Structure 1
């Protein structure tokens, strides 16, 4: 496309890389794709940067340098990958997701003294504090009539200007991970020799080089796998005869049935449990179950400590009423779940781990969601998911 002032655009990238050398490798890995359809600048997951010629013409080099850093930050922080793990309703609302992501980035950029174009999104616009993850900002972002669009490399939804095909440059997922690690190492080296790395970038680099477990991803994966495993248990039924029955005179053939799994959530209500962690875990579990189609009377919740105090069926986390508060023996809740008329295919136990466990593996999949610092490990036959903070 004619009309793009490449000299100005690339001068802005040079300025960004020269002033923040620890971002140079990532910045120069972005390939430029001129487009009249993108409002300003945006990226896709292949590290292509789509650029509006009119935006470049109207924006000073100093601000363009800040936009370069803003766009590469979406990719370095794996915003499209993190957005893919949001609940389905949030994923569809790409405008709010993009605003929350911009809030996560722009507070760091402004603290670093980078000038950004007017209309930038910051946590302060919504009465929120700086330094948080976009996942934490998202619930407090109201619907907007107008919103930024940094492309599929940010919110994860295909943009009208996205291009793909032979001959177009692309960065593979493996190369992207290598770029993230190289950038994190450059940040650490820069801080040792010169200092003055913004706190948000420093925290991000620490997580890349010394990662903690993203428990939300682990939990979602474990629940989805367990539900898929249970749903794969097909059986024969005569309630709906096979279509081949018509060809077999005098013989009725059964059809195959794939039952929808039942899930029991056993919640530790002992006094040692933290309410905030428990509420977060419960919300994540019910959210994942809702996404995979297990809801309503297919889900039962048992709240127990040394005894089972309540059994309720729920469709959302806010319907759960926790009781108890005494000692802990989650075997009681597990046994009650397995003895119910609607026997579950999957049992999810939310506990701090200070409990006896069944001596032998249960006859269904059991996931132990462990709340608190350094919880004891469950038996080896159980799938353990320790709760912690998500990666920024």
Structure 2
């Protein structure tokens, strides 16, 4: 990380002091111990202070170690490993090309994401440390947001390719060892588990780390992509059912005089959308899920004439048929029994092969699977899971 003053090179690295600082960091923040001890120390007189590469090698300036106190070095150890745990180099690779070219500015934004947690946690850092308050920005944001808020002239910081993703001259030289991608992911998950245990035992964890641990242990998935994939897969399963028809005789019939052979046909499946209209459902979430389902059906060629929409009335525990998803209204109340809607869909004269259920999950489900494929889009913060034979997708805000 970058500090305000330049440190003169010293003849040799004080490893005892450096490793004592790492021990202090691991002792004070035990949930970071595994990650800290996975860093490989590389002495370098070309690195400004300390920096990391993508393979978890930590390059250390002897002069910087000589001029920095052990408590401050402990904070720097935590700062550098934070770049790697938060996958800053991987996230930098996904930035627009213009931002990637200004990698030192990206590094400052990343420092702001890290240092607000370090300082609020009562740890020490050397003078000149980059923090959100230094630029009049709020704490608690991701570096991608800080990158947009930083003023034009912000100086520079260089924590290495393990932060901003661009290999630095002091990383050259073919140093062996390091941590691979698979091991790095395992370290991130182990650290997140340790943070969760620490929080349960002691009840305190910096906000940024808490958010990070939750994301690692329960990664956010784009529910639209998952829901679309589930509906497509169910339609492909239903469309795979073939049958014989004499409406189009087989081309092989010409080879058999006086015999008409049937041909195989692959019918377009029928789809029923069953909608929970109870008061616990949210208008915006319901509309988003309906729009996603409608888009998928249109994309795969299932016309409106092959789609039925049923609204489960929360008050009378009945299902009413509507002509389109646009006519679905939230009726209020609660205690909807989605079995009513599913059974009504399956009793239709033109029985659907795929049933998509939109619900908050607080409903009884059929006791046994049916011949139709059932996909449940669970809307809300913490919906209960349906039976295992129902494919479920969580629609999150």
TM range (shorter): 0.5 to 0.7
Q: Which whole-Å CA distance do the structure 1 matches of 2:59 and 2:284 have between them?
A: 49
Equivalent residue in structure 2 for 1:361, among 296, 300, 303: 300
User: Map of 1:347-386 to 2, 5 A cutoff?
Assistant: 352-353=291-292, 355=294, 359=298, 361=300
Contact kept, 8 Å, 1:273 with 1:352, in 2: the verdict is: no
User: Map of 1:212-231 to 2, 5 A cutoff?
Assistant: 212-213=220-221
How many equivalent residue pairs? 246
| Secondary structure, aligned partner of 2:23 | helix
The answer to whether residue 198 in structure 2 is matched with residue 190 in structure 1 is: yes
The answer to whether residue 13 in structure 2 is matched with residue 13 in structure 1 is: no
Change (3 A) 1:145 1:136: closer
Change (3 A) 1:57 1:358: same
Q: What's the TM-score once normalised by structure 2's chain length?
A: 0.56
The answer to whether residue 141 in structure 2 is matched with residue 202 in structure 1 is: no
Tell me what 2:54 maps to: 45
Q: What's the TM-score once normalised by structure 1's chain length?
A: 0.57
Contact kept, 8 Å, 2:105 with 2:157, in 1: the verdict is: no
User: Map of 1:1-392 to 2, 5 A cutoff?
Assistant: 2-144=11-153, 146-163=155-172, 165=174, 168-213=176-221, 352-353=291-292, 355=294, 359=298, 361=300
Change (3 A) 1:117 1:353: same
Contact kept, 8 Å, 2:21 with 2:74, in 1: the verdict is: yes
Q: Which runs of 5+ in 1 are unaligned?
A: 220-271, 275-327, 329-348, 363-372, 378-385
Q: Which whole-Å CA distance do the structure 2 matches of 1:207 and 1:57 have between them?
A: 38
Q: Which runs of 5+ in 2 are unaligned?
A: 1-9, 227-282, 302-358, 361-375, 379-393
Aligned-CA RMSD value:
3.3
Superimposed CA distance per residue, residues 103-148 of structure 1 (whole angstroms, 9 cap, x where no aligned partner): 1100000110011111111111222211111111111113336211
Contact kept, 8 Å, 1:96 with 1:143, in 2: the verdict is: no
Tell me what 2:321 maps to: none
| Secondary structure, aligned partner of 2:41 | strand
| Secondary structure, aligned partner of 2:292 | coil
Quote how far apart the aligned CAs of 1:97 are.
0.6
Q: Which whole-Å CA distance do the structure 1 matches of 2:95 and 2:137 have between them?
A: 20
Contact kept, 8 Å, 1:25 with 1:183, in 2: the verdict is: yes
Q: Which whole-Å CA distance do the structure 1 matches of 2:154 and 2:99 have between them?
A: 16
Structure showing greater radius of gyration is 2
Quote how far apart the aligned CAs of 1:153 are.
0.2
Change (3 A) 1:90 1:351: farther
Change (3 A) 1:214 1:62: farther
Superimposed CA distance per residue, residues 19-57 of structure 1 (whole angstroms, 9 cap, x where no aligned partner): 101100000000111111111100000000001111100
Q: Which whole-Å CA distance do the structure 1 matches of 2:108 and 2:183 have between them?
A: 27
Q: Which whole-Å CA distance do the structure 2 matches of 1:57 and 1:198 have between them?
A: 30
